[in-house]
Amino acid sequence: MTDEPLLRVSALSKFYGSRVGCENVTFDLWPGEVLAVVGESGSGKTTLLNCLSTRLLPSSGTASYRMRDGQFRELYRMSEAERRFLMRTDWGFVHQNPADGLRMTVSAGANVGERLMAVGDRHYGKIRATAVDWLSRVEIDEDRIDDEPRAFSGGMRQRLQIARNLVTGPRLVFMDEPTGGLDVSVQARLLDLLRGLVTDLGLAAIVVTHDLAVARLLSQRMMVMKDGRVVESGLTDRVLDDPRAPYTQLLVSSILQV
Amino acid sequence: MTDIATYNFAYLDEQTKRMIRRAILKGIAIPGYQVPFASREMPMPYGWGTGGVQVTASIISPDDVLKVIDQGADDTTNAVSIRAFFKKVANVAVTTDTASASIIQTRHRIPEHPLSAGQVLVYQVPIPEPLRFLEPRETETRKMHALEEYGLMHVKLYEDIAKHGRIATTYAYPVKVEGRYVMDPSPTPKFDNPKMHRSPALQLFGAGREKRIYAVPPFTDVVSLDFEDHPFEVQTFDQPCALCAAENVYLDEVILDDHGGHMFVCSDTDHCEKRRNAPTSPLWGGRAEGAGGGLDQSTFHSTPTPALRADPPHKGEGKEAE
């Protein structure tokens, strides 16, 4: 950890007309840190994530990101070209539905290689070797490299999406319900994989989830959202073991015990 | 000029021609950029060259000499009709001779005879957007052009190599113009791509249905996209033209009977005829006596089909959805 945060978010709000998407969200994210954003459906988690990843423009507030040269840049003042470049090099975005983040009609290898080609890699052999390497890191057999993601199971698609995002060595990854829609055993393996990758690569990540177990496993710190506002934030273990806000207490006590 | 009394010169009204000329000028100023224009209804169906005809109509003048080719041939329906059209509505001289034409409207080929400064090559374009089959949204493709995000184009070439072991795209092979815009050279065989590079002729592209005009000014860099370890290469043919014995030209396969008999002949009919009518040409080698209209029967034997499909796509034949 360095002494400067990677991302500084200050008083971020997003309104849809008179409706609140998220309101007055302030936090810092440090390099290598995983922050979980939890809350029920409609609490503004995804709106916040979309604003941070510049897929949506907020109504007010600022977010600045420390670029690789150490300079902070105000995200919403960057040109679209710069933002898109950031999106495909230094950032990753893992969608809940892998079909949103993958090109379903091109092969797995090309899906992983696309970002490399987008930043100017023009050597087929090297691109393919990198794709093979990344597929093995996300536990996809090498002989599936020329298959289209349409032929993959949900868990494999999600792992492929992760490989596709991580291939350029991003420093910050946004994840929107990365384990949503997967059965529990597949979820467990995916979480294991994600935890390993995040630690190995020193990634910072913002993970939006409604699953407190996912938050507990992946994140060091968490924010609990309700009706667009952050009601509680702190170290994950502290928030889950000793919830202070009434809503967090309700959330934690709502977990089904098997 | 009684023939053209019922129409304005070259069919289109002057306002329309000005509008199209403005689009052409903008296209020339930004090589490879697709300029939207208000495409008009033409007295022919979309897909038959409405874009090319509008471009030609806007630049043609009474002293121009027009040549029209369709898949390299001067004598196919499309070429004959468009030639007749301009003879009727503009009363211009027409020719099949590449060297003496000032405007050449083409569908799917660039003539074998090298073009010279002052000539204009007008392409009929069905789908101007090279990224279309990879990204269906026009809003997104325009953004990708604006931001020079062309990684996706290489994804297509990557897929080719992954599936076929080589770049299997044989026509509409994407090119980068003057180091900036990626452009679809229209469904010409990639054999013709090198001819576009630093060509002394002005190249104009018109897509009527898609309402786009783009241009490559003379002496502009046109580079075919490729990978370092899979460089761009053109089709090769393992035999010369069966009629004129030309080598290093683009050949069409002609089916002779329904027993598998076929032969490969020049797709550029003007080039082929000139060679056959000039029996003393050194290119002819020692076989001059068989020339001049004679089809040497010995060339009619069945020839093995080359591994590569040689003919350019036919009208209505879609690109493979990838």
Domain membership flag for residue A173: no
Domain membership flag for residue A251: yes
Which chain B residue has its CA at the smallest distance from A112's CA? B155
Predicted confidence at residue B306, as pLDDT, reads 42
Active site residue B32: yes
**Closest-CA distance of chain B to residue A202, Å:** 27
The model's pTM is 0.81
Please indicate if any CB of chain B lies within 8 Å of the CB of A25: no
Contact A125 B152 (CB under 8 A): no
Contact A115 B151 (CB under 8 A): yes
Please indicate if any CB of chain A lies within 8 Å of the CB of B322: yes
Domain membership flag for residue A220: yes
Please indicate if any CB of chain A lies within 8 Å of the CB of B136: no
Mean pLDDT of chain A: 91
Predicted confidence at residue B318, as pLDDT, reads 45
Predicted confidence at residue B135, as pLDDT, reads 87
Predicted confidence at residue B5, as pLDDT, reads 54
Domain interval for residue A17: 1-83+206-258
Please indicate if any CB of chain A lies within 8 Å of the CB of B307: no
The full 3-state SS of B253-298, as one line of letters, equals EEECCCCCCEEEEECCHHHHHHHHCCCCCHHHCCCHHHCCCCCCHH
**A165, amino acid identity:** N
CATH code, domain with A211: 3.40.50.300
Strand-pairing partners, residue B73, are B70
User: For residues A3 and B157, which has the higher predicted lDDT (pLDDT)?
Assistant: B157
Predicted confidence at residue B213, as pLDDT, reads 98
Domain membership flag for residue A241: yes
User: How confident is the model over A4-47, as pLDDT tens digits?
Assistant: 899 999 999 999 999 999 999 999 999 989 999 999 888 999 99
Residue A208 clears pLDDT 90, i.e. is over it: yes
Number of domain units in chain A: 1
Domain membership flag for residue A25: yes
Predicted confidence at residue B7, as pLDDT, reads 82
Predicted confidence at residue B37, as pLDDT, reads 97
User: For residues A168 and B279, which has the higher predicted lDDT (pLDDT)?
Assistant: A168
Give the CA radius of gyration of chain A.
18
**Closest-CA distance of chain A to residue B275, Å:** 42
The full 3-state SS of chain B, as one line of letters, equals CHHHCCCECCECCHHHHHHHHHHHHHHHHCCCCCEECCCCCCCCCCCCCHHHHHHHHHHCCCCCEEEEEECCECCCHHHHHHHHHHHHHHCCEECCCCCCCCEEEEECCCCCCCCCCCCEEEEECCCCCCCCCCCCCHHHHHHHHHCCCCHHHHHHHHHHHHHHCCCCCCECCCEEECCCEEECCCCCEHHHHHHHCCCCCEEEEEECCCCEEEEECCCCCEEECCECCECCCCCCCCCCCCCCCCCCCCEEEEECCCCCCEEEEECCHHHHHHHHCCCCCHHHCCCHHHCCCCCCHHHHCCCCCCCCCCCCCCCCCCCCCC
Q: Is A174 within 8 Å of A91 (Cβ atoms)?
A: yes
Domain membership flag for residue A127: no
Domain membership flag for residue A63: yes
Please indicate if any CB of chain A lies within 8 Å of the CB of B232: no
Task: Please name the residues between 70 and 99 in chain A that touch chain B, using a CB distance below 8 Å.
Answer: 80-81, 84, 88
Q: What is the ipTM of this complex?
A: 0.85
- Contact residues, chain B, for A125 at CB < 8 Å: 229
**Closest-CA distance of chain B to residue A121, Å:** 9
pLDDT tens for chain B, 322 residues: list them. Answer: 555 457 899 999 999 999 999 999 999 999 999 999 999 999 999 989 999 999 999 999 999 999 999 999 999 999 999 999 999 999 999 999 999 999 999 999 999 999 999 999 999 999 999 998 888 899 999 999 999 999 899 999 999 999 999 999 999 999 999 999 999 999 999 999 999 999 999 999 999 999 999 999 999 999 999 999 999 999 999 999 999 999 999 999 999 999 999 999 999 999 999 999 876 555 545 444 444 444 444 444 444 444 444 455 455 444 444 3
User: How confident is the model over A72-112, as pLDDT tens digits?
Assistant: 999 999 999 899 999 989 999 999 999 999 999 899 999 99
Domain membership flag for residue A107: no
